[in-house]
Amino acid sequence: MFTVEQIKAAHSKVKSGGDFPKYIQEIKTFGVTAFETRVKDSHTEYFGANDYRISSKSMYEDLDIFHLADKTKFQHYLKIHQQGETDYLTFCKHCAETGIERWFVCLDKLTCTYYDKAGNEILVEQIPQ
């Protein structure tokens, strides 16, 4: 099965949100079927076949997640991130600022779903191939 080290190596190639689709395709070849990232500290749980799962460690100091989601502002931040205007940490700070608590990526469906602190679905995005 896959390791956190393999995923980190693939993630190190991501310089902006524009690189995200290539990253998804690469980790899919490792056997990753889904993953969930917590904005608070960017720790991520990765899922594979036969209930396989591993977790990465926190990547930064805890961020405070705003209690109410602002979908419009979040969509703006997501768009500029995907255009390469922000790095990963800045994107995570923008998520926290706009009330995004986590995202869940399904590699089979090629979707990324963003949730607020209450577990409400804020945005479902199709990942380009």
CATH label of the domain that carries residue 8 = 3.30.1810.10
Q: What is the mean pLDDT of residues 27-52?
A: 96
Instruction: State residue 128's pLDDT score.
Output: 84
Q: Which residues face 54 on adjacent strands? A: 46
17 vs 74: CA distance, rounded Å: 14
pLDDT at 26: 95
**Is 35 a residue whose pLDDT tops 80?**
yes
Query: From the CB of residue 27, how many other CB atoms can be counted at a distance below 10 Å?
Result: 21
Contact present, 103 and 38 (Cβ < 8 Å): no
pLDDT at 120: 97
Q: What is the pLDDT, as a whole number, of residue 87?
A: 86
Given this model, what pLDDT does residue 96 score? 98
Collapsing DSSP states into helix, strand and coil, what is residue 38?
strand
Total structural domains within the chain: 1
Look up residue 107 and give its DSSP letter. T
pTM of the model: 0.91
Which of 115, 2, 5 lies closest to 53 in space, CA to CA? 2
Please give the residue range of the domain that contains residue 52: 4-126
The one-letter amino acid code at 67 reads H
Residue-wise pLDDT for 58-108, tens only, equals 989 999 999 999 999 999 999 998 888 988 899 999 999 999 999 999 999
CB-based contact 81:17 (threshold 8 Å): yes
How high does pLDDT run on average in the chain?
94
